[in-house]
Amino acid sequence: MMPGAGTRLYGVIGFPLGHTLSPALHNAAFAATGHDGVYVALPVAPARLADAMAGVRALRIAGLSVTVPHKVAVVDLLDGLTPEARAAGAVNAVYREGERLLGHNTDIAGYQAMLAEAGQEARRALVLGAGGAARAVCLALRRAGIPFTVAARDTAKAADLARALGAGGDGSVRAAIAWEDLGTLLPAIDLLINTTPIGMHPAVAASPAPDLAALPAGAIVHDIVYRPRETLLLAAARARGLRTVEGGTMLVAQAAEAFERWTGFPAPVAEMRAAFEQATGDDQSC
């Protein structure tokens, strides 16, 4: 559909934004549903965030994705938050209610889609990393009733996240451990989740858990990194015969939830998934 006078404008703000796949996913969704919208990448330097949000209001942008480094800073520039955004302490999708701009977090639903693919039956998880995405992952684990331990190179951050989100479950396993000790916990878990950027393009020859030998045979490995689709961590897990879930599942699911909030229509998930696969398959660097 050609943009016209009634076309609604959507976009993603972040900095830098070189590798964002969001325009491919959302424009595919608009095309599949006939929604008269255009989605563009809008790089916004940190010092210009307030100006950019004033522009979002003035231009009546209909929906906005928010990525690194603005997910927390944008909170103070909005008129309200959903319970998900409040619980996550971060916003990755802004939507409009009349003149009000509201912040939501779709990473929680995004990770729930990974759990649904494989992992819902897990009895103990180990979360690698304690950043923004880890918080959404831990919230989803808590909602699923899966006790978890957080391992991060900043042990204080791991402990803060674990305490804030009630990790540890029955208390038989520590809620947070130092990064260098994560190997000691592998025999006791059945779900390993990478939420760090380790293994992400272009530094693809790295894994956050180089030796998976100690994981039990039925363990499941999740990597929320989606570029490349098969990270070194997932390749090692598959080589061991373990079940794996790729970060693309989370990317597509979080985008689908944003689409639904913006438009009120069910998201065309299959078309969004196909757009993701085409964008990553076309990219020789993946």
Q: Is 198 in the site for ligand NAP (CB under 6 A)?
A: yes
Q: Is 133 in the site for ligand NAP (CB under 6 A)?
A: yes
157 is catalytic: no
**How many residues bind ligand NAP, per CB under 6 A?**
26
- List the structure tokens of 283: 């990219």
- All residues at 6 or more sequence positions from 44 whose CB lies less than 8 Å from its CB, including other chains: 13, 14, 15, 52, 70
- Considering only residues 63-102, where is the footprint of ligand NAP by CB under 6 A? 68
- C-alpha distance from residue 65 to each of 60, 87, 161, 261 (Å): 14, 18, 24, 12
Q: CA 198, CA 75: separation in Å to the nearest integer?
A: 27
Output 8 or 158, the one with its CB closest to ligand NAP.
158
The full length of the chain comes to 286
Q: Is 14 in the site for ligand NAP (CB under 6 A)?
A: no
Q: Are 165 and 142 in contact (CB under 8 A)?
A: yes
Q: Is 109 in the site for ligand NAP (CB under 6 A)?
A: no
Site string for ligand NAP, 241-280 (x = CB under 6 A): ------x--xx--x--------------------------
Q: Which of 11, 14, 110, 228 binds ligand NAP (CB under 6 A)?
A: 110
Please give the angle made by the CA atoms of 282, 285 and 286, to the nearest 5 degrees: 75
Question: Which residue has 């595919």 as its token pair?
Answer: 28
Residues at the site binding ligand NAP, with contacts judged by CB under 6 A:
68, 107, 110, 129-134, 152-154, 157, 179, 195-198, 200, 224-226, 247, 250-251, 254
